[in-house]
Amino acid sequence: METLIQSLVSGVLTGSLYAMIGVGLTVVFGVMRIINMAHGDLVMLGMYGAFWAHVGARVDPFLSIVVWMPLMFLFGMAIHRFLLRKVVLGGELNTLLYTAGLSLFIANLALFVWTGDYRTIKLSYAVMPLRPFDIAVPIPLAISFGLAIVITVALYWLLARTDMGRAIRATSQDAEAAALMGVNVERTATITFGLGTALAGGAGVLLAPSLYLYPTVGEILVAKCFVIVVLGGLGSVPGAIAGGILLGIIESLGAVYVSVAYKDLIGFVIFLLVLLLRPAGLFGVGKS
């Protein structure tokens, strides 16, 4: 019983970060129909951001998020404005191939600049886990979990309550109708891509203290990301949150009750089953 609760808890903690990455990918898909193959590499950039803030400037990695999220937002807007905007017109497959190229470019540039060494962030306050009710909760994961919830709630508020959020949701539902109602679709798309990139980068910052860092980590993350958004239904924000937490739990239960070796396999098998049987996602809210 204790093992079950323990693995559920760690599943939810990791899942909250998966959710944040997934939300970034899914809002971008909703507005632009882009499946961004480089999303995992944007997470990787956030991870290195936190690492260098910690090593170079002696800033707490979690604190550095206030710098990196706005920077990643601008970076994402620049990518869309200068690189992706024209390519999107060529159709979904072109953007898929283009972002695959972008992914290879970013990952290997990082490999060149930062080398392939595995790095870790050592925090003085993270040596011993918290032990509420005899359940081990690693401190960095607990902090990440809290921050991920704050950021996700802020995003919800932005999407639900602000004019920008309404424009994003309207474009996501029907770009032409939104344009007819006076929404500047191009600008909305640029801002949405910025938002998706900021979420990816932010999640990277939060993940950095709990994972090994290496330049090609994005390859694994992006694969997980696809699983998450397809579970929840492509284009759906609540779906991505549920999908992220679900994948976190599946992986952690799988590692305990099936085998560590095959835990990643379970995610992919469920991914295929959902794609085939429920292409709109487990909750039937996605767009196909």
Partner 1 sequence: MTRGLVALAIVALFAVPWLVTNTFFMHLAIMVLMWTALGAAWNLLGGFAGQVSFGHAAFLGVGAYATMIFHLKLGLAPWYGLVLGGVIGALVSLPIGFICFRLRGPYFSLATLAVAEIIRIIAINWETLTDGPVGMLITTLPELRVLGQPVDWESKTPFYVMIATIVVAVIGATWAITRLRFGAYLLAIREDPDSAEAVGIDTVRTNVTALALSAFFTALTGGFYAIYFRYIDPDAVFSIALSVEMVFIAVVGGLATAAGPLIGAVFLVTLAEVFRERFQVWHLIFYGLFMMLTIRYLPEGIWGRIGLLLGRRG
- List residues binding partner 1 (CB under 8 A): 35, 83, 86-87, 90, 92-94, 96-98, 100-109, 111-112, 219, 223, 226-227, 230, 261-262, 264-265, 268-269, 271-272, 275-276, 279, 288
CB of 101 to partner 1, least distance (A): 3
Closer CB to partner 1, residue 1 or residue 261? 261
> What are the angstrom distances between the C-alpha of 143 and each of 61, 175, 252?
11, 38, 19
Q: Three-state DSSP class for 61?
A: coil
Phi-psi map region of 233: left, alpha, beta (phi>0 left; psi -120 to 50 alpha): left
Count how many residues are written for the chain: 288
Closer CB to partner 1, residue 34 or residue 242? 34
> What are the angstrom distances between the C-alpha of 129 and each of 112, 148, 189, 222?
35, 19, 42, 29
Closer CB to partner 1, residue 38 or residue 170? 38
- Report how far residue 258's alpha carbon sits from residue 256's, in angstroms, rounded to the nearest whole number: 6
CB of 87 to partner 1, least distance (A): 6
Beta partners for residue 213, in sequence order: 119
Closer CB to partner 1, residue 109 or residue 149? 109
Helices (H), the chain: 2-32, 39-57, 65-78, 85-88, 92-114, 139-161, 163-173, 175-180, 185-207, 217-232, 237-257, 263-277
Closer CB to partner 1, residue 116 or residue 146? 116
CB of 41 to partner 1, least distance (A): 10
CB of 65 to partner 1, least distance (A): 28
Residue linked to tokens 């992006």:
222
CB of 234 to partner 1, least distance (A): 9
CB of 151 to partner 1, least distance (A): 26
Closer CB to partner 1, residue 57 or residue 261? 261
130 DSSP assignment: B
